[in-house]
Chain A
Amino acid sequence: MALTRDVVETETRSYVTGLRCRLCRATYPEQPVAICEECFGPLEVEYDYEALARVVSRERIVARPPTMWRYWELLPLTAPPRVGIETGYTPLIPAPRLGEALGLKNLYIKNDGVCHPTLSFKDRVVAISLSKACEFGFETVGCASTGNLANSVAANAARAGLRAYIFIPETLEQAKILGTQIYGARVIAVRGTYDDVNRLCSEIVYTLNWGLVNVNLRPFYSEGSKTVGFEIAEQLGWRAPDAVVVPMAGGSLLTKIHKAFAELQRLGLIPPARPRLFGAQARGCNPIVAAVKEGREEIRPVKPQTIAHSLAIGDPADGYFAARAIRQSGGWAEDATDAEILAGIRLLAETEGIFTETAGGVTVAVARKLAEQGYLSPEETVVLAITGNGLKTMDALATAPPISIAPKITELERVLRDFSEGGSHS
């Protein structure tokens, strides 16, 4: 522990003490394994918080470049990051016009739709897990993906010179397939749902010496999501918001944002607070929402049927923990129909100039419901986690063709009269 301030600034050292089973508490050394041998429970990275409390401070964090790595002590690397060096620190945007529409006066958007390099929050978890893959010596990496993760693994693996195999459900949007193949990744479409893909991948890691980011590298991968929470708190001026609305697929992002606020409090970086976590799912794939609403611990899997493909995980791996985090934090969960999702996408675009993907539409639609139902109060500081970019899911949206005119000012004037009569032009 004899570290001087200067040493820590120039070389990464790890504050990880090992892996621990979330269920039976069995401990393991740091290794590319995600499940407990004893009970199959999920393994979680553990840190030496006493040592962390001595070295981490606001001043040191803010002096670093604006990327997710400004919080590196709270991430599980033992060597400097090799992948995704520029990732993270996306804008936290005040959203007064959307807030007015929803009846929320202190509303913010955490916009990971502009994350580097592939425009979704998955760039964070891939940055950490592929850096970790390099540490473990994997030459082939991959993932099971609903799309955004596929794009990110493919792009980041290309830059790192790693071979990538990407397993997707064959129903995926064309834009996400193209946005994966372009990086030279080997894309394998599996006949079945995301859950079938995930199941195949869970067998692959026992057969092939590959680092699958959301399978055997999952304990490290999921820690990357904490940086969303760290950044929200820092960008609010070192405080937790009153509430965060988070889209849920596997449920990991919500649990890790919850963990991020808890860690910042534990290390004295933000004042004590009790941020409420709110989970958002599509009506056509809402196993976590259903568990929260019915007050049961067990997650009953569903067969997904929704336009929000990036949230279409019918058997969410972290569903149990996400539901628990929601309950413990005093939050709630809601779902949105496909029509409400599309309306949510449009509302965010028209009020704040942010074009989000279908998952973002879910988040906006659910925030509207939560505000209407009184779960979110008008004066509270509320953050919506927007996790992906609308340019990737354009197939979900049908738009009317634009008005066509001859290049004459008289024609334009006629159109402008029509607009004002229709009341849609302001």
Chain B
Amino acid sequence: MSVTVRIPQPLRRFTENRDVIELSAGTVGEALEQLERQYPGIAERLRESDGQLRRFVNIYVDGEDIRFLNGLATELRDGMEVSIIPAIAGGGAL
């Protein structure tokens, strides 16, 4: 499936400053693996060593948070848009 992946600014140093990447993948997880093949180093910014998404990374497929879908196993169809967006948080106690 040919999909577009939107790259947030903090990750563009991995993608030669490109903000949109076209790639072919059947699921969100596969899209991340494809990204890593094209731009080594990017995946470890997104996933923990156990493969789970980092706590403050959110991924949306056509505007929907993948936590409402099927997580990294969310299936992709031709023309879908995958957005990687850092969650924003403000901190906490000492």
Contacts and interface: CB of A to CB of B under 8 A. Distances in A.
A329 B92 CA distance: 13
B91 A40 contact: no
A22 interface: yes
Contact of A221 (B9, B60, B86, B90): B90
Interface string B42-85: 00010000000011111010010101100000000000000101
Interface in B1-53: 8-10, 45
Contacts of A292: none
Interface residues of A, number: 49
B92 A41 contact: no
Number of contact residues on B: which range applies? 20 to 34
A303 B90 contact: no
Given A39-B45, A196-B63, A215 B93 contact: no
Contacts of B9: 206
B91 A219 contact: yes
Given A203-B85, A206-B9, A41 B56 contact: yes
A266 B90 contact: no
Interface in A188-228: 192, 195-196, 198-199, 202-203, 206, 214-215, 218-219, 221-222
Contacts of A42: 56, 88-91
Contacts of A322: 92
A40 B53 CA distance: 11
A365 to B, nearest CB: 25
Given A35-B56, A218-B88, A40 B93 contact: no
Nearest to A261: B93
21 contacts: A23-B56, A34-B88, A35-B56, A35-B88, A37-B10, A39-B54, A202-B85, A202-B88, A215-B88, A219-B91, A222-B91, A256-B90, A256-B92, A258-B92, A259-B92, A263-B94, A266-B94, A300-B67, A315-B58, A320-B89, A328-B93
Interface of A: 22-23, 34-35, 37-45, 192, 195-196, 198-199, 202-203, 206, 214-215, 218-219, 221-222, 250, 252, 255-256, 258-259, 262-263, 266, 298, 300-301, 303, 315, 317-318, 320-322, 324-325, 328
